[in-house]
Amino acid sequence: MENGFKKIRMRLPALMLLVLTVLFWSLYDRYEPAGPVLLSAPSLADGTNVRGEVSESGGHFTLRVPKGGKPARIDFTMPGAPRYGTLRARVRIKVDGVVEGKYPWSCARMLVAQYDAKNKWVPCDHGLVSEEGSSDWISDQNEFEIQPNAARVAVILQQSGAEGTVEFDGIEVRPVRIRASFIWWRVAFAAAWIWMAFLYIPRCRLDRRRLRFLILLNALAILFGALMPADWIKDVSDQAKKTWAKHVAAQEKAIPATSAPRKPAVKKDRDTRQMGLFNQMVGGTHMMGHFVLFATLCFLVYLSAALERQHPSYFLKVGADVLLFAAVTESLQFLTVDRTAGIGDLRIDLYGMATALLLFVLLLPLIRRFAR
């Protein structure tokens, strides 16, 4: 029992710093206002491009799509928005019986869309909230970087699902900028975690483990993925999408001339469906990365302990250490400019660790025979 309390005390500094990191960055707002509010509790009269069943009362919007009916939508253009660098949008949303339409994005959504001087859509992060089914009021907010070629910015409320009703309230958009203190807080917390890493390398016996180099490389890969800027991820995703689009175009050219030509609407529908499936695959790559990296890390740690012929109780301790590492790496995303921590990623990490544990238990007889 005394030895167990000693193990807990050894990990107490990391646990305390983890709690401090999560609490501080959950309460600290890295952004500050950079101009007047551009949109707040708009009325139906302020909207443009109104389609379908749209009603409003005191800034509270209701968009309804009856079964077999047309999608509902309303746009709000914000003059002067393109001259700012970043916009923060807020909304409260409630959905009732919203059924997903033809595509995954055919549901209740609020977008912050950007258009160039020729009124063409500027590709960028634009989705604030996307809901389907039925749920009570939820609040959401996000920051959007204004692209250099944006000449017009608009907020779009839409219900493009097959049927259902969505309500929007508390709509607000205002320009923001990063606080000057943000960089100093990042440096302070980064320095604290670097010091904690050097403290725990000898405590976790990483320098003496049989598979220390593989474990260290796996841990560094996880840290790199956790701290990778969102712009890098977006650039890789965009490049993959361009490659896929070229592949689809090449397939079109390879069709024999004797084949019956496809109607433009059919071709566009097929291409849109293919790009939608590809986008889902790209999004799934992120989850697969979390799963695989933590599964391999957990398996390597268990395998190293088995090769060192550790006591069975030792496996519980190292499993807790890997779980602590997962929570720490997720919380470190608070220190990045354009990424945030999420409980969903931590849940995927746990699935990977559980899979690694199951695989290790199945292979344990062979591992012990090899160790002997």
Q: Are 131 and 110 in contact (CB under 8 A)?
A: no
Q: For residue 97, is it left (φ>0), alpha (ψ between -120 and 50) or beta? A: left
Question: Which residue ranges make up each domain of the chain?
Answer: 2-29+181-251+263-371, 39-178
Residue 305 pLDDT: 84
Residues of the chain with pLDDT under 50: 265-269, 271-272, 275
Distance CA 223, CA 244 (A): 29
Fold of 39-178: Jelly Rolls (2.60.120)
User: Which residue pairs from 207-214 have beta carbons closer than 8 angstroms and sit at least 24 positions apart in sequence?
Assistant: 209/301, 209/304, 209/308, 210/304, 210/307, 210/308, 211/300, 211/303, 211/304, 211/307, 212/304, 214/300
Q: What is the dihedral of CA 209, 215, 219, 221, to 10 degrees?
A: 150
Residue 234 pLDDT: 62
Distance CA 92, CA 136 (A): 10
Amino acid found at 171: I
Distance CA 130, CA 239 (A): 25
Q: Are 130 and 107 in contact (CB under 8 A)?
A: yes
Residue 364 pLDDT: 80
Question: What's the alpha-carbon Rg for the chain, to the nearest Å?
Answer: 25
Output the six-digit token pair for 331: 């919380």
Q: Are 53 and 65 in contact (CB under 8 A)?
A: yes
Q: What is the pTM of this model?
A: 0.74
Residue 102 pLDDT: 80
Distance CA 234, CA 227 (A): 14
Q: What is the dihedral of CA 213, 215, 217, 220, to 10 degrees?
A: -140
